[in-house]
């Protein structure tokens, strides 16, 4: 009788603990994905990755690189861009680890936001001067990305030109979580993580407008800003922002010559990139390529395909593919894909290639 009572109490305690932990903290089964589907029509690899990841080499993350790589493999990521804080200033192993390209980097405070120095394993200098930090990153062959664009003073075109970074972190899930913490307060205990955190998959209209006003506009990335540290039960666990879940919410794809760190960094630098809110629907590849008569767009499922040229919506179509034409005189265009009135895919800008004889 005693053993039955003890078993019953154990089951009740486990049920209570599970309820307190919340549905979002339960490691629900996930289907493994392949890292990339093949080469695009332009002969480039569409490589799915994530940008802005912290581990225990940062002062505010308990996560390990082993957890990052395991989560990346499960999510079908070809690459992960680490951006550790400068305190304590460590950098873990990098290179190809268990089939995943791990790109080292640091997140540095600058201009009210931050700068991500991707591809640099050494500790940056002690300065908050964005121009000096960008130069330091470039001298080491890295890519300088403006982080936390929602509060960065580098949204000013003159300041942008002076600093000359390479790209903008247009979406940051951590920033979105801070804005939506009231809604997350009831979603996290009641819903699985993929559903509870789906509300984070938004692009701030203010960020979009500020980006469009920049010279170029410059290439974009989406940032998971993953720390794997938010635990509903403190030291007892119940982690909500696990790498395995965050890596399936927002991805940055690059069109690269090969699956190496230099090729990935080159693709980011040159703007062969797009962000995808994969928490809405998984996406192996998205086509946005110059074609006779305009740009060829293609998605893995029917959606609303949109062509935006020089900041103005130029054309759109419903379906899984479309050929959309820019207006006369357009200089640069980008593409969007929408699912049920929610933004799913957003690309960096591409130059309009004039037709022969035009």
Q: Which domains does the chain have, with CATH numbers?
A: 30-284 (3.20.20.140), 286-358 (2.60.40)
Q: Specify the higher pLDDT residue, 116 or 291.
A: 116
Q: What are phi and psi of 224, to 5 degrees?
A: -80, -25
Mind giving me the DSSP string for 185-223? Answer: HHHHHHS-HHHHGGGG----HHHHHHHHTSSSPPPEEEE
The set of residues, in sequence order, having a beta carbon less than 8 Å from that of 169 and lying 6+ positions away, is: 51, 52, 116, 145, 146, 147, 148, 149, 220, 221, 222, 223
Asked whether the beta carbons of 275 and 259 are under 8 A apart, the reply is no
The answer on pLDDT for 273 being more than 70 is yes
- Residue 264 pLDDT: 98
CA distances from 102 to 35, 121, 142, 226, 283 (A): 14, 11, 14, 15, 21
Q: Tokens 């949109």: give the residue.
A: 306
Q: Quote the percentage of the chain above a pLDDT of 70.
A: 86
Backbone CA torsion sign across 123, 100, 338, 23: negative
Please report, to the nearest 10 degrees, the dihedral formed by the alpha carbons of residues 151, 153, 157, 163 taken in order.
-120
Q: How confident is the model at residue 11 (pLDDT cuts 50, 70, 90)?
A: very low
Output the pLDDT for position 192: 72
Lowest mean pLDDT among 37-46, 124-133, 224-233: 224-233
Residues 141 and 135: their CA atoms lie apart, in Å, by 10
Query: What confidence tier does 35 reach under pLDDT thresholds 50, 70, 90?
Result: confident
Q: Are 274 and 256 a contacting pair, CB within 8 Å?
A: no
Residue 2: pLDDT band (50, 70, 90) is very low
**CB atoms inside a 10 Å sphere around CB 352:** 19
Q: How confident is the model over 134-190, as pLDDT tens digits?
A: 999 999 999 999 999 999 999 999 999 999 999 999 999 999 998 988 777 767 766
The average confidence (pLDDT) of the chain is 88
């Amino acid at each position: 009788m005693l053993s039955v009572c003890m078993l019953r109490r154990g089951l009740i305690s486990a049920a209570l603990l599970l309820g307190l932990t919340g549905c979002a903290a339960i490691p629900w089964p996930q289907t493994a994905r392949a890292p990339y589907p093949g080469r695009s029509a332009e002969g480039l690899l569409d490589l799915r990755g994530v940008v802005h990841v912290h581990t225990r080499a940062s002062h505010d993350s308990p996560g390990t690189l082993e957890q990052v790589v395991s989560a990346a493999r499960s999510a079908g990521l070809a690459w992960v861009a680490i951006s550790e804080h400068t305190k304590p200033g460590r950098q873990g192993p990098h290179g190809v680890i268990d089939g995943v390209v791990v790109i080292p980097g640091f997140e540095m405070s600058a201009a009210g936001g931050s700068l991500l120095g991707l591809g640099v394993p050494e500790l940056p200098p002690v300065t908050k001067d964005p121009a000096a930090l960008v130069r330091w990153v470039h001298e080491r062959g890295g890519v300088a990305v403006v982080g936390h664009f929602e509060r960065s003073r580098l949204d000013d075109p003159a300041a942008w030109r002076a600093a000359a970074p390479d790209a903008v972190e247009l979406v940051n899930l951590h920033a979105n979580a801070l804005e939506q913490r009231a809604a997350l307060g009831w979603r996290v205990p009641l819903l699985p993580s993929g559903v509870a955190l789906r509300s984070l998959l938004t692009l701030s209209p203010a960020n979009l407008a500020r980006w469009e006003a920049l010279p170029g506009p410059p290439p974009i990335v989406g940032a998971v800003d993953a720390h794997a540290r938010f635990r509903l039960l403190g030291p007892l666990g119940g982690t909500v922002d696990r790498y395995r879940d965050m890596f399936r919410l927002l991805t940055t794809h690059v069109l690269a010559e090969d699956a190496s760190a230099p090729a990935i960094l080159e693709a980011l630098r040159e703007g062969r990139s797009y962000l995808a809110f994969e928490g809405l629907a998984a996406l192996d590849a998205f086509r946005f390529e110059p074609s006779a008569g305009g740009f060829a767009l293609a998605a893995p499922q029917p959606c609303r395909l949109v062509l935006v040229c020089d900041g103005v919506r130029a054309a759109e179509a419903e379906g899984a593919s479309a050929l959309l034409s820019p207006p006369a005189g357009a200089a640069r265009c980008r593409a969007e894909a929408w699912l049920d009135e929610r933004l799913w895919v957003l690309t960096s800008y591409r130059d309009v290639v004039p037709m022969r004889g035009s």
